[in-house]
A and B are shown apart, each in its own frame.
Chain A
Amino acid sequence: MGKGRGPGSGVRGPGSGDEAQPERGRRPRVAVLALQGDYEAHARALVEHGIVAHQARTVADLDGIDGLVLPGGESTTMLKLMEGTGLADRVRELAATGTPLLATCAGVILIAREVGNPPQPSLGILDVKVERNAYGRQAESTVTTLTVEDTAELGDAPLEGVFIRAPRIVAPGPAVEVLARRSADPVLVRQGRVLAATFHPELSARSAVIGLFAAMTGGRR
């Protein structure tokens, strides 16, 4: 709490990092799916990396984007709100054509291959099985330090994980790289241009996870 002012307050120039830009001098545009959940926290975090973030509620809101965030919240609510809107197909298409995608918590449940506890439909973008609420109810929610597997990507500063009624990745497929763990459990994974965290980097101050995603979209790390 208490970090930064509100969304949109950071008026900044173009990204100055050494990452590839979408177009020289243009700031990357990233959509945050805003059906329900902590989409504002995500938008705030992205702005700190020189990204222009907007809330997306319809298929048209996903036009011309350099990246997409599927935030935390309630996956059952989001699924219900996606029904009959064409959003599911459009998100699949964006992932298939290489648009960088960041999914956190409920977002990971949405894009998983398979969901358990209880089973529910999912988009089948990320080759993992996910167990919902696997660590228990809110009493088990916690802030902890993660074990980073890939310091080249995430740096060697301690990486914080904020877990809220978190799901667990139980069966990552062969194309899924594990970037960080909580004890033995994979909690941050990457498959191509899809980055997925069962925790909430958007609720940590300047998380390296948001930095990594920002770099994938052409923003500042």
Chain B
Amino acid sequence: MHFESPEFRVKVGLAEMLKGGVIMDVTDAAQAKIAEDAGAAAVMALERVPADIRAEGGVARMAAIDKIEEIMRTVSIPVMAKCRIGHIAEAKVLEQLGVDFIDESEVLTPADEENHVWKHDCKVPFVCGCRNLGEALRRITEGAAMMRTKGEAGSGNIVEAVRHLRAVRREMRRLGTLDEAELIPAAKELQAPFELVRYVAEHGKLPVPNFAAGGVATPADAVLCMMLGAESVFVGSGIFKSEDPARRGQAIVKAVTHWQDPAVVLEVSRGLEGAMSGLDIAKLTPEEMLSRRGW
């Protein structure tokens, strides 16, 4: 397996440094500064937050280079940017630009409906989304150094994130109960390489950090993700689509650090202005579900 190579170790190393933190979606330098001041461990540069992509439609692409550069100049924390699923050229451009992490993201319009980027070919680390363990292990095989459960981006509704976190955790637990012979059919079922399936069975966890994303709108939403095994949380529309981004951002950061202490979560939840309005997932058509992009 590729986990011992120095190249892969420094990729996963940066993911390790982001644990217990909050990664916030930002569309310009002013938002990036607010995020950094609120205590974000990293920012994600994109052209529109997922809620706007959903509302406005059209093809969602990698953010404008000038915007990403402006964000990189403004903050001292790591800057991530999104490329479309399978868009090798966007990935190479972002790598050349020097972003710290690339999110090959279902939030943007996929460029390839069958293949993801072969991420070993890039020096920059990648994070990818997953809905279940098999999907996570396929992305790790391709070279992802960090996973995030997909949730449903731009929905302000945590239900899909919970579904995906629970699915990953349940499948990992199940592998722990199987013997080696039984891991072969398990790998077949998961559509994932046997070596990775065996790794998870032995260690009870993914070989890379697993964060949560999609639908986080409140400190309690973020804490729920941590309770279900996420090691960090991405917040997309939840901050800058709320009525009080700076304060809400700070509250979510504190809640993630102190997720095991309900007294702190209560304290930071007091006095927040309105959260983003959310969507009823049941009313979305399959085509409207961003989490179904990629496989």
Q: Is B258 an interface residue (CB 8 A)?
A: yes
A137 to B123, CA, bound (A): 12
Contact residues of B with A, CB < 8 Å? 1, 3-4, 6, 8-10, 12-14, 16-21, 36-42, 72, 76-78, 95, 98-101, 123-125, 199, 202-205, 207, 250, 253-254, 257-258, 261
Nearest A residue to B77, CB-CB: A74
- Tell me which residues across on chain B come within 8 A of A64, comparing CB atoms: none
Q: Are A6 and B41 within 8 A (Cβ)?
A: no
Q: How many A-B residue pairs have CB under 8 A?
A: 125
Pick the interface stretch among A15-23, A35-43, A88-96, A168-176. Answer: A35-43
Q: How far is the CB of B140 from chain A (nearest CB, A)?
A: 11
Known A76-B76, A81-B254: A2·B16 in contact at CB below 8 Å: no
The stretch of A138-146, A150-158, A183-191 that contacts the partner chain: A138-146
A77 touches B101 (CB 8 A): no
Chain B's nearest CB lies how many Å from the CB of A121?
13
Question: Would you list 5 pairs from A and B whose C-beta atoms are within 8 A, ordered by A residue?
Answer: A2-B1, A36-B41, A77-B21, A141-B14, A165-B14
B3: which of A1, A35, A117 is its contact (CB, 8 Å)? A1
* Chain B positions within 8 Å of A49 at CB level: none
Are A37 and B19 in contact, with the CB atoms below 8 A? Answer: yes
Please indicate the chain B residues that have their CB under 8 angstroms from the CB of A36 in the complex.
Answer: 19-21, 41, 257
Inter-chain CA distance A106–B257, complex, in Å, is 16
- Where the two chains meet, the residues of A that have a C-beta atom closer than 8 Å to any C-beta of B are 1-2, 5-6, 34-41, 57, 72-74, 76-77, 80-81, 105-106, 117-118, 132-133, 136-139, 141-143, 162-165, 200, 203
Neighbour of B17 across the interface among A34, A35, A38, CB < 8 A: A38
A138 and B124 within 8 A (CB): yes
Q: Which residues of B contact A137 (CB under 8 A)?
A: 72, 78, 98-100
Query: Across the two chains, which residue of chain A brings its CB closest to B254?
Result: A81
B12 and A200 contacting across the interface, CB-CB below 8 Å: no
Give the CA-CA distance A81 to B40 in the complex, in Å: 10
Cβ contact within 8 Å between A6 and B204: yes
Q: Is there contact, CB below 8 Å, between B21 and A2? A: no
Q: Is the CB of A164 within 8 A of B17?
A: yes
B77 touches A76 (CB 8 A): yes
